[in-house]
């Protein structure tokens, strides 16, 4: 359904109204969850390689949420920093 067009006095009233107050983001950025497709894009590797590294203990274990598999951004960043240092 199309939104009705606003014109005249109603438009002027809306233009002077204060912006809607939004709640601050209460989730820490490092607690965000990454899906497998995102990891594949970040690492430029295959899904198979990621699961192989998990099996070999070289990559953080995923979090299971029902049927979803996700990784914490925090864990990925720690792994990346550790890998960059060579250890």
Q: What global pTM score does this model have?
A: 0.65
The SS3 assignment for 19 reads coil
Angle subtended by helix axes 47-55 and 36-43, to nearest 10: 100
Residue corresponding to tokens 């299971």: 64
CB 54 within 8 A of CB 61: yes
* pLDDT reported for residue 24: 63
pLDDT of residue 79: 95
Both tokens assigned to 13: 């009233």
Q: Domain boundaries in the chain?
A: 28-85
Return the bridge partners of 68, or none: 65
Q: Is 62 exposed, middle or buried (0-12, 13-18, 19+ CB in 10 A)?
A: buried
Q: Residue 27 corresponds to which tokens in the numbers above?
A: 């989730």
pLDDT tens-digit readout, 1-50: 566 665 555 555 555 555 565 566 666 777 899 999 999 999 999 999 99
């Amino acid at each position: 359904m199309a939104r009705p067009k606003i014109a005249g006095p109603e438009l002027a009233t809306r233009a002077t109204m204060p912006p809607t107050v939004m709640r601050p983001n209460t989730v820490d950025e490092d607690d965000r969850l990454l899906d497998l497709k995102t990891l594949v894009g970040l690492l430029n590797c295959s899904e198979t390689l990621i699961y192989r590294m998990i099996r070999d203990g070289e990559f953080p274990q995923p979090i299971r949420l029902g049927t979803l598999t996700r990784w914490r951004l925090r864990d990925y960043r720690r792994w990346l920093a550790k890998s960059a240092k060579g250890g």
